[in-house]
Structure 1
Amino acid sequence: MFRFSEVARLRYVCWLEIQGRIEAKMLSRRTTYAVYLVFKFDHSKRGFNERPVEMCVSVEGDESGSRCTAFLDPPGNEPQLSRERGDGWMEIVMGRFFNDNGDDGGFVCSLCETDDYTGKHGLVIEGIEFRPED
């Protein structure tokens, strides 16, 4: 898991982009991984129910990875894709990948919402987890 030494707390932005990278050799070979964003919201939050974020997980250097969009704080008519964990944080699947050889390169994961007109604040990020799938 990528964890910040301190949590990252979003104050107020209109453009949000988060990226993480892990070396393939740090992961088990011939294993499928799911990548999770671990987050929660401050008592005051805005913008994450107005526009979905785009999440992507890919092999470094290959833009065609696992992509999806989701609301982190869905409005009433959207399904809740994130789930509460037992530790007070939420998690949402950013994507999946198969680590075939595990020798060279790495995997890149990103989250972005770049609508310059939608202000966002109140997001707190603990980290990004790479977990083998069952």
Structure 2
Amino acid sequence: MTSWLEVEGKISTRILSPNTMYKACLIVQVAHHRAYGLDVLPFEVFVEVGDFRSRGTILLSHSERSKHPKKVLNLTYDQVHISRVCHERNDGWLEIELGEFYNEGFGEKEVKMSLREVDGVHLKAGLLVEGIEIRPVS
């Protein structure tokens, strides 16, 4: 249980393939019987590499009426544009798109990835985090 939630990850472009577009996704589950507060405010997601920054927002819903959080894309939530997708994977975990980035392949840069909701003062609980997955965009 927390009022401030931030999940961050970092990786060096040196260990990624050059001249390749990548997608970063946060892999999570929502513990429905103990989850609350996750759908009060949208979460901010971003990927940053050098001067490039990809930002977006996503809303996690843990309604008792549905087994899984809603799939959300291009909706408006209290004047905030929801721009990222959350969907269920075949293994039962949920995938939240943090953003995409291009690895040019020359020089070493740090890729920073994040999901956060730090503006609210309400409590939230029930988010299980497996990790961040980085894969080439096909």
Same fold (TM over 0.5): yes
Shift of 1:48: 1.4
TM-score normalized by the length of structure 1: 0.81
Percent identity over paired residues: 37
Counterpart CA distance in 1 for 2:102 and 2:91 is 28
Runs of 4+ that moved beyond 4 A: none
Tell me, yes or no, if the aligned pair for 1:54 and 1:69 is still in contact at 8 Å. yes
Tell me, yes or no, if the aligned pair for 1:27 and 1:102 is still in contact at 8 Å. no
1:29 corresponds to which of 4, 7, 18: 18
The letter for the 1-side match of 2:116 is C
Q: 1:30 to 1:74 in 2, by over 3 A?
A: farther
Shift of 1:101: 1.6
1:72 aligns with 2:60: yes
Counterpart CA distance in 1 for 2:3 and 2:115 is 14
Counterpart CA distance in 2 for 1:34 and 1:79 is 18
Q: Cα RMSD (Å) of the superposition? A: 1.9
TM-score normalized by the length of structure 2: 0.79
Counterpart CA distance in 2 for 1:73 and 1:103 is 40
Q: Number of aligned residue pairs: give it.
A: 120
Cα displacement string for residues 44-96 of structure 1 (whole angstroms, at most 9, x for unaligned residues): 10111111100110115x4x5000011122779x8523111111100011000
Counterpart CA distance in 1 for 2:137 and 2:54 is 15
Counterpart CA distance in 2 for 1:122 and 1:108 is 24
The letter for the 1-side match of 2:28 is F
